[in-house]
Structure 1
Amino acid sequence: MKKAPLISATAVLTLFFSILHAAESKAPIKINWTEPQKLILADGLSHSFICFTGAQYNLQESQLPFYYETRKLNGPVSSLSAELLNPVFVSLAENEKEAFDEAQKSMNLPPLLEVQVRTGIVKKQNLALIKFYPFRINPASGQPEKLLSFTLKLNADYNLAQRTASSTAAYAANSVLASGNWYKVGLTADGIYKMDYAYLLSLGMNLSGKSPQDLRVYGNGGGQLPYSNAAPRIDDLAENAIYVFDGGTLNVFDSADYVLFYGQSQNRWSYTGSTGGCPAFRHSVHLFSDTTYYFITTDLGPGKRVSTQSSSMLPVTNNVNTFDDYAFHESDASNMIKSGREWYGEKFDILNTYTFNFSFPGIDPSSPVYVKTEVIGRADVTSSFTVTSGSGSTTLSTTATQTSIYYYPYAYTSNGCFSYLPSSSNISVTVTRTSPLNNPNFIGYLNYVEVNARRQLLMSTPQLIFRDAGSVGAGNVSKFFVANANSNLSVWEVTDPVNVAQQAGTLNGNVFEFALPTDSLREFLAFDGSTFLTPRALGAVPNQNLHAIGQMDMIIVCPPVFWNEATQLANLHANEDGLSVGLVTPQQIYNEFSSGARDVSAIRDFMKMLYERA
């Protein structure tokens, strides 16, 4: 079904979807062109728009209308394309040509007759989403023409394996939080955390009659949930491998006992490879929470413990005595339009220069330091920024925008990279706005500064996290040499944060050595036991079990402050409409679907579980 003509000032960021509930057809399609319409936009000027029945507009792309259609597919596809057959074109009417010329002058023409097709799913129905601009420039006359009729052919390769597989993800029948006594802790940095007897009591735990072997730690590590439904994620809460020291009376909690576990911050790094002088490791900031949460219980029997993995006896292909390290600065203080999930930090206004300092003890002076910076600028002219560090520098330029026209991009970002050989372990990065300096319409912010460096693999702090991308390769076996070590040193492999392993190795003098296959990137944490981190105690967590919720006609997600009002609403729909209504709090959803951290995708994942079970 196609929509009636619609031109609206709200079309700036909106694509209007019209779903055709019919089987794929090769019947000719005729476009019903109508008279151009005029609209006064925010710039105060009257603009003319070419129209046809069902026309859609995206004013950030063009003032020209595009054709949009959605067709059902017979299942999931591995590839999908569309083509126009038997197209019939006619010349534009004079008033249409004027509108076309105006659109061409306002911004570059979008690709004409280029069929864009992507897939979607609505109510478990696979769909083809088709879009194109129905115009062409006549190759003979050079004049614009409009498409009058055509046949649309879909070329789909169906994914039979995915089609025959179950579409329902494997969800736990019950949450681990459904029974027993649970306690929550929070942390903000990567490292080894210690919880001793006194700390566990401060959480509110009753340890009388409990054995240290029964203590368990659950949590899904740090990092924001993926936006994509198809991306993997942990369901409910994963049990983490922990180290338990039972130093007093065996199997009785007392003051000599403690627990060690590896905790992750919410800010994560991923390896992308170095290109164009850019850092190989890129950071990502959790947009909704700066704290990672873990859940503690002693009511489920003996728990998962840190296992020991042997050093490899395979022939060594790489010796590793330096490693990749990284740091970033990103302050999420300002949102330019009070909308969206991107926030920015330092403002270029009265202050036009900012300097950020990073420390990389034992830096390798023979390996480059890589710096990446991103800024955003809003002005009627191009804005320029310079970034300098050591002997390296780059210039960032943000595109000019039309600050008086609301549907133009509000601001533009610019990022750039450079590298240089360091002469000091202290790395300073300076960002300066160079132009425009006296433009009252200018607005500019720093987004982030990101630095990668190589360091000597030696214990310069009580805890050292290290990895080496240079040793990764098919069939590689790497031997790691951790210098400045002593007999108290332990190395944990933390590549999989919920399945941490104690790495066996050999202490030769003050160097701890071990070897492992490195066909993929592995990460380790070395610590000497002199200093541990302490999580923030948050207390008891009530039992809950959203994973066992039955099928509902309606779900109301409501914070506790509105619980009474939401209950009244739920009762109204139950009594008047006969609906089954579920009432849950955001925190209940976060506990089971994002390891306790605020994350909007957790609400989506909760609803997706109910959807897939229906």
Structure 2
Amino acid sequence: MKKTILFIVIFLNSFAFSQHTENVVVDWNSNVQYKIGESIVNVPQFDYHFFDFNFSLMKIQYKKTLNLENEIDVNSLKISNVVMQTISDSELYDLKKSEIPNKLNASLQVVRARNQNKGLITISPIIKQGEEFKKIVSFSYSYRNSTSNRVNNSVQTISNSVLTSGSWYRFYIQKSGIYKISKSFLQSLGFNVNVNPKNIKIFGNGGRMLPLDNSVSFPDDLVENAIQFVGEEDGVFDNNDYILFYAEGVDTWNSESLTSVNLFSDKSYYYVTSTGGQGKRIQNAVEPTGVPSLSFSKFDDVLYYEKDLVNIGKVGRRWFGEQFNITNDQEFDFTIPNLDTSFPLNFYINTASKSFGSSSFNFKINNQDVGSLNFPELISFNGIEAYESAISGDLVVTSNDVNIRLTYNNGGVPNSNGYLDFIRIKSKRNLTGYGKQFVFFNNDELSNIGVGEYTISNASTISQVWDVTDVFNAVTYRNTLGSNFIFRVNLGTQRKYIAVDLSDTYSPLKESSSLVQNQNLKGTIFNNNQGV
């Protein structure tokens, strides 16, 4: 009997962690025509079983539905062996080029369809690489089962919250980055520092907004984050000991709502406790030993500027920033460190106008005209409060400093108003230390296979690079060479890294009351058919 039980346990565990892999060929056709109202648009098309077209954004996606027999780990999706072909501008037809991303944006989620759980893989089938557009003609994907054994197609089993017992204290951050937590800061929260530091843990889900679709997988409890505790080895929390960890702020881009500002909160909360055993720690990354097939000394950067100040229609989730009714000419200045000026900037500026006459925005970057937007006049009582439009393009600049100037023309109608929504600047930067922590990634990492090698110059103050692709499980590469920091990665996956410079760490913030009362709404009120 004991042998039988042991066999079943081993079988279930190996089954739960099994990996699913499939090769996909994207069968492109010529194009398809849509007629929506009086509008007729043409877009490139592939096999309609996997084709999805968003008319409002003028973008296409590849979507593949999976039949699930077991629960899956939605964070385990890996895209590899990507094969691409160049697609000409004319073959894009009426697609909105500004909506074509520079990476696959692959995602895996669980959705409900006909009372069954289904997996849904979504990728961008056309991406921009440099000055060219590429279409995906084949790729491979893989994902793992989760630790649960079977898909529950009726009611999700809910366990007790981590907050059910123990002593918990909370603090908050606002912007994403590397944070340093000192002994004195924890004491200011009321936290008992007279514990084995190896037992100290930090929980939190970051500052991103919840998905609008309830079927999209998202943590239903606080998740423990991997941290680095400097000085914990002796089992005593000394005055000079400290914690480093990567925190995700409320400044995370959300493609569902087209915003880099959390619409519902300006604070991202994290929780600290010493309850239970030893905490999760940042592990050393495992570097491949093969010969590099691709070297990186530059990286792709995305800069956002956005303020949520005005809700034009006083309803819904769409917020805009600066108004142009009083000052019709406004400038916005940016400095992009280590900018490689041999590559053009890509800019995207989203605006709106509310006017009962014809109105327009004119745009200049570093005193160069880059275009204009014209808005139609409003019609009374038709339910439209304003018109929204965006301008995008590429521009070569000659310095790290970027000045963007917006001029609003109200068309002679005094009560007209223009609004800035957000500015997005994509650039290519040299991978060089400059005394600050900085996030970096390279889009070419996804679309190639083999081994990639990153080289950071002027890196004497960069002690580590963390891979923060999975914000809950960061891993570290350590600088062993000094001025040139070199590390290797396996290609075929889009990753995000952050350079750790101890002279530039962020400090968390606290509220007047930091103690968190024990609570278990998740395991009580919501632990029934009605609460799920």
Which TM-score applies when normalising by structure 2? 0.68
Q: Which amino acid counterpart does residue 377 of structure 2 have in structure 1?
A: A
Local SS of the residue matching 1:198: helix
Distance 1:307 1:468, change over 3 A: same
The higher radius of gyration belongs to 1
User: Aligned partners of 2:259 and 2:428: how far apart in 1?
Assistant: 16
Local SS of the residue matching 2:253: strand
Report the counterpart of residue 278 of structure 2 in structure 1: 302
1:400 partnered with 2:377:
yes
Report the counterpart of residue 396 of structure 2 in structure 1: 421
1:257 partnered with 2:232:
no
Specify which of 166, 169, 176 is matched with residue 183 of structure 1: 169
Local SS of the residue matching 1:174: coil
1:455 partnered with 2:429:
yes
User: Aligned partners of 1:170 and 1:486: how far apart in 2?
Assistant: 50
User: Aligned partners of 1:355 and 1:171: how far apart in 2?
Assistant: 53
* 8 Å contact from structure 1 (residues 352, 433) kept in 2: yes
* 8 Å contact from structure 1 (residues 383, 397) kept in 2: yes
* 8 Å contact from structure 2 (residues 463, 479) kept in 1: no
1:491 partnered with 2:465:
yes
Specify which of 217, 224, 227 is matched with residue 202 of structure 2: 217
Aligned-pair identity (%): 31
User: Aligned partners of 1:270 and 1:518: how far apart in 2?
Assistant: 25
1:465 partnered with 2:451:
no
Report the counterpart of residue 199 of structure 1 in structure 2: 185
* 8 Å contact from structure 1 (residues 321, 480) kept in 2: yes
User: Aligned partners of 1:332 and 1:266: how far apart in 2?
Assistant: 12
**Per-residue deviation at 1:347?**
1.2
For 1:325-404, list aligned pairs within 5 A: 325-390=301-366, 391=368, 393-402=370-379, 404=380
* 8 Å contact from structure 1 (residues 186, 293) kept in 2: yes
* 8 Å contact from structure 2 (residues 294, 453) kept in 1: yes
* 8 Å contact from structure 1 (residues 472, 521) kept in 2: yes
Specify which of 217, 226, 235 is matched with residue 232 of structure 1: 217
User: Aligned partners of 1:262 and 1:453: how far apart in 2?
Assistant: 24
* 8 Å contact from structure 1 (residues 401, 408) kept in 2: no
**Per-residue deviation at 1:454?**
1.2
For 1:284-299, list aligned pairs within 5 A: 284-299=260-275
Structure 1 unmatched runs, 5+? 1-60, 63-77, 80-156, 273-281, 552-608
Q: Which amino acid counterpart does residue 187 of structure 2 have in structure 1?
A: L
Deviates more, 1:175-184 or 1:447-456: 447-456
Distance 1:420 1:295, change over 3 A: same
**Per-residue deviation at 1:336?**
1.7
User: Aligned partners of 2:167 and 2:325: how far apart in 1?
Assistant: 53
CA deviation string 1:456-487 (max 9, x = no partner): 10111331211111332142432101110127
For 1:270-289, list aligned pairs within 5 A: 284-289=260-265
Q: Which amino acid counterpart does residue 175 of structure 2 have in structure 1?
A: A
Local SS of the residue matching 2:185: helix
Specify which of 504, 525, 531 is matched with residue 498 of structure 2: 525
Q: Which amino acid counterpart does residue 455 of structure 2 have in structure 1?
A: F
User: Aligned partners of 1:501 and 1:201: how far apart in 2?
Assistant: 28
* 8 Å contact from structure 1 (residues 394, 418) kept in 2: no
User: Aligned partners of 1:371 and 1:203: how far apart in 2?
Assistant: 43
**Per-residue deviation at 1:190?**
1.7
Q: Which amino acid counterpart does residue 210 of structure 2 have in structure 1?
A: L
* 8 Å contact from structure 1 (residues 462, 528) kept in 2: yes
* 8 Å contact from structure 1 (residues 335, 344) kept in 2: yes
Q: Which amino acid counterpart does residue 471 of structure 1 have in structure 2?
A: E
Which TM-score applies when normalising by structure 1? 0.60
Q: Which has the higher helix share?
A: 1
Structure 2 unmatched runs, 5+? 1-36, 39-48, 51-112, 120-149
Local SS of the residue matching 1:548: coil
* 8 Å contact from structure 2 (residues 462, 499) kept in 1: no
User: Aligned partners of 1:543 and 1:523: how far apart in 2?
Assistant: 35
**Per-residue deviation at 1:441?**
4.0
**Per-residue deviation at 1:306?**
0.3
**Per-residue deviation at 1:392?**
5.4
CA deviation string 1:421-461 (max 9, x = no partner): 1201011111111341x203422211111111111101113
Distance 1:204 1:369, change over 3 A: same
Report the counterpart of residue 569 of structure 1 in structure 2: none
Distance 1:162 1:471, change over 3 A: closer
Q: Which amino acid counterpart does residue 298 of structure 2 have in structure 1?
A: T
Distance 1:159 1:334, change over 3 A: closer
Specify which of 524, 527, 534 is matched with residue 507 of structure 2: 534
Report the counterpart of residue 442 of structure 1 in structure 2: 416
User: Aligned partners of 1:477 and 1:434: how far apart in 2?
Assistant: 52
Distance 1:459 1:170, change over 3 A: farther
* 8 Å contact from structure 2 (residues 360, 375) kept in 1: yes
Report the counterpart of residue 100 of structure 2 in structure 1: none
* 8 Å contact from structure 2 (residues 324, 418) kept in 1: yes
Q: Which amino acid counterpart does residue 246 of structure 1 have in structure 2?
A: G
CA deviation string 1:465-517 (max 9, x = no partner): 1111133214243210111012762111111111000124652x611001101
Q: Which amino acid counterpart does residue 215 of structure 1 have in structure 2?
A: I
Local SS of the residue matching 2:264: coil
CA deviation string 1:522-547 (max 9, x = no partner): 11111232232110123111111011
* 8 Å contact from structure 1 (residues 283, 328) kept in 2: no
**Per-residue deviation at 1:314?**
2.5
* 8 Å contact from structure 2 (residues 302, 427) kept in 1: yes
User: Aligned partners of 2:198 and 2:451: how far apart in 1?
Assistant: 35
User: Aligned partners of 2:362 and 2:239: how far apart in 1?
Assistant: 57
User: Aligned partners of 1:270 and 1:510: how far apart in 2?
Assistant: 36
**Per-residue deviation at 1:171?**
5.0
* 8 Å contact from structure 1 (residues 373, 387) kept in 2: no
Question: Number of residues paired by the alignment?
Answer: 391
Higher relative contact order (CA 8 A, sep 6+): 2
**Per-residue deviation at 1:250?**
1.8
* 8 Å contact from structure 2 (residues 525, 531) kept in 1: no
Give RMSD over aligned pairs: 2.8
User: Aligned partners of 1:238 and 1:480: how far apart in 2?
Assistant: 30
